[in-house]
Amino acid sequence: MTPIMQIRDLSVGYASRRAVGLAVTSVNLDVEKGEILGVVGESGCGKTTLAVALLGLIESPGVIQSGSVQLRLADDKLVDLVGLAPRPLRQIRWKEIAYIPQGSMSALNPVLRVRQQMTDTLVQHGLSKAEAIERARWALNLVSLDAAVLDKYPHELSGGMNQRVAIATAVTMQPAILVADEPTTALDVVTQRSILQELVKIRDQFGTTIIVISHDMGVMAQVVDRMAVMYAGRIAELGLVLNIFDAPLHPYTQKLIGSIPKDTGQHLEGLEGEAPSLWAYPPGCRFHPRCSLATAICREQTPELREIISGQYAACHHCD
Amino acid sequence: MDSFPLRQKRSSSQNLSALQARLQPYLPTAKYILKRIGIYFLTVLGAVTLAFIFFHLMPGDPLSIVFSQLEKTNLGRVTGGAEVAEAYKRLLGLDQPLPVQYLLFLRNVLIGGFDLGPSFVAFPTSTRDVIFRQLPWTIGYFTSAMLIAWLIGTTIGALLGWLRRIGLTSVAVGIATLLNITPVYIIAIAAIIFFGYHLHWLPTGQPYDPGLTPNWGDIEFIKNVLRHAIMPIASVVLVWGASFSLGMRSLMISVLGEDYLSYAKAKGLTPFMILRDYAFRNALLPQVTALGIALGNTINGVLILEAIFVVPGVGGLFVRAMAIHDFNVMQGVVLLSTVAVLTLSLIVDLLLPFLDPRIRRSND
Amino acid sequence: MFTKTNKRRNIRTVPLFIFVSASLLLASCAPVAAPTAVEKEVTRVVKETQVVKETQVVKETQVVKETQVVTQTQIVKLVYGNLPRNETLIIAGTASNDVWDTFSMMSGPLTNAYSGYQQVGIEQAFLFAGGKYYPYLAQKWEYNKDGTEMTLYLTTNATWNDGKPVTIDDWTFTLDYLHANKDKGVPFGTMLDTTKYRTDGTDKIIFSFFDAKDPKKAVPNWRFHQSIASFVPLAKHVWEGQDPLKFKNNPPVEAGPYKLVSCNADTKTCIWQRRDDYWKKDEKLSPKYIVFTRQPEPDLLTQDLISGNFDLSQLNAKLATTAVMPKNPNISMVEWPDPCPRQLMFNMEKAPLNDPAIRHAMSLLIDRERAGKLDNPAAKPGVLPWPYQGDPTSPFVDPADLKNYDVGVFDPAKAAQVLDDAGYKLVDGKRVDQNGKPLSFSIMTFDPSVHGAAVNGFPQMMAEEAAKIGVEILPKVVEVGVFFDNAQKGNFDMMYQWVCGAPQDPLAAYSFLHSRYYKPIGTATGFGQHLGYKDPATDALIEKVEQGNPADPALADTYKQLFHTVTSQWLYVPLFSLYQGFPWNNEYFTGIKNQVEPWYWMYQFRGMLMYIDPTQK
Ligand SMILES: Nc1ncnc2c1ncn2[C@@H]1O[C@H](COP(=O)(O)OP(=O)(O)O)[C@@H](O)[C@H]1O
Ligand code: SF4
Ligand SMILES: [Mg+2]
């Protein structure tokens, strides 16, 4: 299978007056066509930065330090989203790669009706007004929303409805890839589940590749095929979700899974300490201050992401 | 919402309930509007009362001040200052006890259509006529100048905000900041000295050439008035335009940091569409409020400019009224500007729900 | 948001600011575009006057070199539409009221004093200028022997500016009309309450004076001519049946030398034209047109004066001499002494201000010279309560009093001595009264924008001097309204005042000390004195002057006694006499003299008009 997106050595940072702090460091990742890929990690570990970089939306003070994001178009041509000129980038956006933003409540313009916000992109991409509205109705229907929503303002809708609008907006152009950043955060459990089901439905119907970003392992467990665990800007572990939950390789993944509340009511094995700030990463393995297995090598050498078991990768000196 | 009378008839008529369903979305707006108007009238009443109290608690009997000063300078014009002062007190109704004066004042102002009695600056012309004679000038010069300043300032500010990362805009921002902190009278005086006295391009003052007889049907006369208006209007536009543009720029910048802006970008919209539908529209809302406030303050703001350009207007009238302690005119001007501020903020309040849908719901 | 470029942006704006402000400055200093004119030097005799020096007559000739700007074609500039500049006198002033369509003096102080109406439109019975009465609508007056009657001889050839003659009917109509409207506060409205008039078929009006309470009792009124001098008769055919407060008299029908051309409320400009049919043929009226207009703010007014746009204006003396005169050689100052010299008044009911020694000491602490100069270098230390400071020939003053009572003297050492002698001892650096209470007084003044910087300057200086000898003086600056309020209630220790006494008849400098005006502290009165002073002997002197004939040399003695009373007890003490002055443009009209009456004071303007000649023909 050929990956639809190839991320190579991607480093994205934020510039301060003095230096650039890398929120995403040397990330290598292949996204397979039609899969649902999860990116998971504690808050602040660079998930949103990664997502934004995939859309070519990094803006000052953000800077792409290195790397490439190769997107395979329908005609098998590869384009590098990094460094693409604004005009072709605009065309690729939404048509090839659409985005469901974190916190759709604030991502929708409060003073415009849903109708305008859903259709302006379509008109921009060459549809007629009527076609655009037709498409919007269809998309709303897809996410189980009434077409009356079109005449509403965002503040007149509930959080779940707003999220559905965002999803519907994202599928209007039937993009090849959908990046959903924390699609369920701030929603109640029932709504969370139905939103996730909408995503699965979209993948199943249209074969859309979906990248789901969340800090919530529970979300991963529910919908994701493969997942990448991020820690402090780097990928710590990558593999099929079932395998990872079964046998997490990386000590960080183990702790993450350990901290999921279980119905058995056993004592939670929480994560101690804090994730490092992007201005002061520890040398060597960035996890070593919090890692119980850390040794001298961990403090000196950065572990590479290696295939430990077939299809399961981890970046750790001591997980063989 | 439920107390709206339409509700009771619901069961009796199918039609009505349909009508009500259609009206339903507007009910919050209607309630909001009624509430605003109610508050408006209460504040106007309060302002009228405050104006009365303020001017009647000012120390010194205005008439005896004028007359005794005059008697002292022994000009031979006033014989028996005390008696004359009494005569005028009766004429101006100042001989009544304060509560009676207050009630009369309320009646005359609110019911009598802004009747504040005879003026003192232009005795015996009524205060209302004196003020309304000056008002068109004030509006003509400064309200229009303010509107121009707002339009230009908002446009420039929006562009400066949008292009904030381009180094060259910092020059424009520097100039705007400089203009904004410069008192308008310095600009005005510099402009008059430079364009008026040195270059002889524009008249140095007066609303029109003093040799002319006003004739608003004559195009030449109107041209003359416009020529004279260039400098007063330009100095307001310069200073207030700078202030509006800085305000708009920072509004823009804060809007540009909003999530919906990067979302709009992610959607692949062109920069122009983002500027128009997302950034500008959203930044415009507080800017409209700023215009309302600035317009309401016109009367206070123009005082010095009217003096510098020697043009008629309410500001100069107020100064003259102060000089001879003309209660009635001072009250009138203060009232008028208060009512102007209140009315404009009412208009802005009533307009905002149409510009910003959030207001229709919130604020009950 | 905090990018690296941010810092650079901040630095860049600094030179930018400097650049912009520097270029603005440079631009405003740019040389004036010179009009096409040739400068040539002309020598001409400017002054040739006969001056009486001691006993012989010498001819004084002064030759002055002047640079004249002569434009090649010598086209006369047109101003205010079509008025030739060289025939137009342009006067810029301020008006505190807004009356531009009504020409009447019926509303007292509410009349617009800057429209030109009172200056050149009206005609009075007499013009009082430089201490002399000039005949206008009346020729002369005569009192009977006991001063109970005065005969006024009217001018017979005067005409209204609508061509009709001014007759005795107009006079009697006016007298009755004003009396009938006295409750509306019109001028001269109450005159007939104590005065009867009669006519005898000739051009005379005979006024007789009676007691207000007893109409049968004749009383002398030797000052009647002073008030009738400013009487302005109304044209009967215009005013008959009109309400004096509502009638606009527009265009004004008056007997004065100029007729209204236009008066515009927007531009605050009134244009007057000399009457071809003016009845007083020997009157010098050089300007064909006189324009009264509104002056701009001082900064811009200086520009106007430099450009020669106005011939006379109310720019203060300091700005005129420093900013205008160096740039326009045509400008000179026209000055006059303060008609109302400033005085310091005491609340003599409050201990220890009731002690003359304290008041004496206070007077010695005033540096009048320095304080007066805060406003105008020409200000003089006050010596008299009326103008013509230091006139040694005044028949109403005994020079010995001036010397004995340190009138106008600044001598802090002597002040300390006076206090020592009166028993106000120094205790721990503070001077105390007999009860051990430290001496502390306030001086009430008001906002300097009304009367100039010296108003608040002198209490400050006094406070400094007083501190050196252990006395506390607290300058107290209040709003004008509060000032009058406190003055009327006696709510002050010392206060700034001004007294307008006529040098020929300085009664007004004393009359307010009469006990009939006395009011105890705290009782508010509209008019009168609140100084806490009551003395039957002074009352008697005042009454004697009031009933006497000021022209009678015998009365001078009584005046001297009054002067003695005030100076020897320091009832109030003179501060300074401000010389006031305004810039005059000699380019088109010249010959202006410093004078006694200020130009802008309404009809007094006519006194100035008598001097000026046109410069070009
Ligand atoms: N605009 C920005 N400027 C500076 N630092 C930023 C900015 N946005 C995010 N960061 C930093 O980058 C790191 C990664 O942030 P983010 O990608 O939002 O993480 P996540 O989505 O995993 O919570 C965090 O430490 C955050 O503080
Ligand atoms: S490399 Fe060392 S420190 Fe890092 S996760 Fe593995 S064991 Fe822990
Ligand atoms: Mg995030």
A149 found inside a domain: yes
B204 found inside a domain: yes
List, for residues B177-201, the tens digit of each pLDDT value: 998 888 888 888 888 888 888 888 8
Name which of A1, A29, A13 is nearest A236 in CA terms. Answer: A29
A121-142 average pLDDT score? 91
Residue B340, pLDDT > 80, answer: yes
B 113-132 near C (Cβ less than 8 A): 119-125, 130
Burial class (CB in 10 A: 0-12, 13-18, 19+), C466: buried
Residues of A within 8 A of B273 (CB-CB) are 120, 124
Provide the shortest C-alpha distance from residue C236 to chain B (in Å). Answer: 20
Confidence (pLDDT) at B142 = 85
A199 found inside a domain: yes
Residue C136, pLDDT > 90, answer: yes
User: How far is A101 from A109, CA to CA, in rounded Å?
Assistant: 13
User: How far is A115 from A133, CA to CA, in rounded Å?
Assistant: 7
- Ligand sitting nearest the alpha carbon of A59: 1
Residue A149, pLDDT > 60, answer: yes
B299 found inside a domain: yes
Confidence (pLDDT) at C42 = 39
Q: Which domain holds residue A188?
A: 3-96+176-314
A238 found inside a domain: yes
Report the DSSP beta bridge partners of residue C432. C425, C438
What does the CA dihedral C51, C52, C53, C54 come to, rounded to 10 degrees?
Answer: -170
Contact status of A33 with chain B (Cβ, < 8 Å): no
Report the DSSP beta bridge partners of residue C262. C271
Contact status of C246 with chain B (Cβ, < 8 Å): yes
Same domain, A303 and A159: no
Instruction: State whether the beta carbon of A44 lies less than 6 angstroms from ligand 1.
Output: yes
Provide the shortest C-alpha distance from residue A53 to chain C (in Å). Answer: 18
Confidence (pLDDT) at C20 = 53
List, for residues C436-484, the tens digit of each pLDDT value: 889 999 999 987 766 677 788 899 999 999 999 999 999 999 877 788 7
Confidence (pLDDT) at C595 = 67
Look at C105 and C63; give whichever has higher pLDDT. Answer: C105
What is the total residue count of chain C? 617
Look at C154 and A195; give whichever has higher pLDDT. Answer: C154
B303 found inside a domain: yes
Residues of B within 8 A of A120 (CB-CB) are 267, 269, 273, 277
Same domain, A159 and A79: no
CATH number at residue B154: 1.10.3720.10
A319 found inside a domain: no
**Interacting residues of A83 by C-beta distance below 8 A, sequence separation 6+:** A64
Interface test with C, best of A14, A17, A20, A279 (most C CBs within 10 A): A17
B346 found inside a domain: no
B19 found inside a domain: no
Cβ atoms within 10 A of the Cβ of B190, count? 17
The answer to whether the beta carbons of residues A54 and A97 sit under 8 Å apart is: yes
B179 found inside a domain: yes
Same domain, A84 and A118: no
Same domain, A12 and A51: yes
Confidence (pLDDT) at C6 = 38
Same domain, A17 and A77: yes
CA of A16 to the centre of ligand 1 (A): 13
pTM of the model: 0.76
Domain total for chain B?
Answer: 1
Cβ atoms within 10 A of the Cβ of B26, count? 11
A25 found inside a domain: yes
pLDDT band at B76 (very low <50, low <70, confident <90, very high): very low
B141-150, C65-74, C528-537, C604-613: range with lowest mean pLDDT = C65-74
Domain boundary pick from A129, A157, A174: A174
Instruction: State whether the beta carbon of A215 lies less than 6 angstroms from ligand 2.
Output: no
CA of A275 to the centre of ligand 2 (A): 14
The answer to whether the beta carbons of residues B315 and B306 sit under 8 Å apart is: yes
* Three-class SS of B263-311: HHHHCCCCHHHHHHHHHHHHHHHHHHHHHHHHHHCHHHHCHHHHHHHCC
CA of A11 to the centre of ligand 1 (A): 13
H-state helical runs in C258-411: 298-306, 317-319, 356-364, 368-373, 399-404
C123-132, C183-192, C228-237, C565-574: range with lowest mean pLDDT = C183-192
List, for residues C473-510, the tens digit of each pLDDT value: 999 998 777 887 788 778 899 999 888 777 888 888 88
Question: Collapsing DSSP states into helix, strand and coil, what is residue C193?
Answer: helix
B148-172 average pLDDT score? 90
Same domain, A228 and A297: yes
User: How far is C153 from C528, CA to CA, in rounded Å?
Assistant: 35
**Interacting residues of B166 by C-beta distance below 8 A, sequence separation 6+:** none
Name which of C471, C444, C438 is nearest C458 in CA terms. Answer: C444
A229 found inside a domain: yes
Query: Probe ligand 1: pick from A12, A17, A40, A48, max atoms within 8 Å of CB?
Result: A48
Q: Supply the DSSP string of A82-95, one letter for each residue.
A: TT--HHHHHHHBTT
Same domain, A130 and A241: no
Domain boundary pick from A143, A174, A205: A174
Could you give the ipTM of this predicted complex? 0.86
Residue C26, pLDDT > 70, answer: no
Same domain, A19 and A150: no
As residues whose CB is below 5 A from the ion ligand 3, the structure lists A 48
Same domain, A92 and A38: yes
CA distances from B327 to B318, B322, C151, C203 (A): 10, 8, 44, 46
Name which of A202, A246, A182, A183 is nearest A41 in CA terms. Answer: A182
Same domain, A161 and A186: no
Residues of C within 8 A of A60 (CB-CB) are 3
Q: Which domain holds residue B290?
A: 140-314
Domain boundary pick from A174, A191, A208: A174
Confidence (pLDDT) at B97 = 82
B27 found inside a domain: no
Provide the shortest C-alpha distance from residue B95 to chain C (in Å). Answer: 14
Residue C272, pLDDT > 90, answer: yes
* Three-class SS of B16-78: HHHHHHHHHHHHHHHHHHHHHHHHHHHHHHHHHHHHHHHHHCCCCCHHHHHHHHHHHCCCCCC
B159 found inside a domain: yes
Residue B16, pLDDT > 90, answer: no
Residue A263, pLDDT > 70, answer: no
Same domain, A144 and A29: no
CATH number at residue A80: 3.40.50.300
Contact C2 A60 (CB under 8 A): no
User: How far is B107 from C193, CA to CA, in rounded Å?
Assistant: 39
Of all residues in chain B, what percent carry a pLDDT higher than 70?
82
Domain total for chain A?
Answer: 2
Same domain, A34 and A159: no
Confidence (pLDDT) at C3 = 35
Pairing state of beta strands A226-231 and C589-590?
A: unpaired
